[in-house]
Amino acid sequence: MPDNLTQSPNFSAIDFLRTRSLANVVQAEIERMIVDGELKPNERVNENGLSQQLGVSRGPIREACSALAAMGLIEIIPNRGFFIRALSNDEAQDLSEARAAVFGCMAMMLAERVTDAQIAILRALLQRMDEIVELGDYHVYYPVNLEFHKQIGEMAGNNRLHLIYQSFVRELHIQRYRALASQDVLKISNAEHREIVDALESRDPIRALTAGRAHILNGIVRTRNAGRPGETAASAPSKPARKSRTAPNATGKS
């Protein structure tokens, strides 16, 4: 249970995250709650409850939710409130494909301008991942893998595209569409990484695009086969169905 956020006399780590104000902290906290399952998909965000729980008034919470809604993580229903957005399987598929497309594009753009020094950096990461693959420890592999992707995004030189990509990754993460992997999968994954770097080194944009896109798409397939075919979408109640009297028969008095 998170402590009171505002009036603690001596500041904790919260003061650190305070890039803007409470609204920002609240936003991060809500994202965390979604990741940790404290807020489930299709659930309403109870503003009173949250404000009480976080020791903050409703204003910052509403601001945070508005921002989250603009990012697509929260849905707004008029006079009903903010709802945690649940991705249907189709939407998750779209999101993953979009991620693949954007990543492919970044690889393509990078191939058009990559320097030898950058290649060297990527190869170094590649080697580190190779070593980790031998250990077969996914939890060590994952952050390096993330770093590899992030490097490509930054090297591609298009900040906007990179931001989009990062938001995709984060949203998929929040929605618990994460790859879990055996050693074999890690090996394949890194082989694809190598193909990407090779494509970059050959300065072949199309090849880089293809390799980058395929890498993400393959990851989707692997995730699916790994046995979580969309736990959020499948099990959740379909919609916040309002079962009031107005719905079924429009007899209506006039």
Q: How far apart are the first and last CA of the chain?
A: 51
Site for a second copy in 8-47 (CB under 8 A): 18-21, 23
CA–CA distance, 123 with 216 (Å, rounded to integer) = 19
Q: Is 9 in the site for DNA (CB under 7 A)?
A: no
* Distance (Å) of CA 37 to CA 30, 40, 159, 174, 196: 10, 6, 31, 9, 35
Site for DNA in 58-117 (CB under 7 A): 58-60, 62, 76, 78-82
Number of residues forming the site for a second copy (CB under 8 A): 38
Q: 56 contacts which partner out of a second copy, DNA, none, CB within 5 to 8 A by kind?
A: DNA
Q: Tell me how far the alpha carbon of residue 236 is from its chain's centroid.
A: 19
Amino acid symbol at 108: M
Q: Is 160 in the site for a second copy (CB under 8 A)?
A: yes
Q: Is 136 in the site for DNA (CB under 7 A)?
A: no
Amino acid symbol at 48: N
Site for a second copy in 194-223 (CB under 8 A): 206, 209
| Residue positions counted in the chain | 254
Q: Which is nearer to a second copy, 62 or 228 (CB)?
A: 62
Binder among 42, 43, 55, 226 for DNA (CB under 7 A): 55
The answer to whether 99 touches 165, Cβ cutoff 8 Å, is yes
Count other Cβ atoms within 10 Å, centred on residue 126.
Answer: 17
Count other Cβ atoms within 10 Å, centred on residue 28.
Answer: 14
Number of H helices, E strands in the chain: 11, 2
The token duo for 187 is 């090996």
Question: Residue 202 in 3-state DSSP?
Answer: coil
Number of residues forming the site for DNA (CB under 7 A): 34
Q: 67 contacts which partner out of DNA, a second copy, none, CB within 5 to 8 A by kind?
A: a second copy
**At its nearest, how many Å lie between a second copy and the CB of residue 125?**
23
- The stretch among 109-117, 162-170, 189-197, 239-247 that binds DNA (CB under 7 A) is 239-247
Which chain residues interact with DNA by CB under 7 A?
6, 20-23, 44-49, 55-60, 62, 76, 78-82, 242-245, 247-251, 253
Which chain residues interact with a second copy by CB under 8 A?
18-21, 23, 59, 62-64, 66-72, 76, 78, 91, 94-95, 97-98, 101-102, 104-106, 108-109, 158-161, 163-164, 206, 209
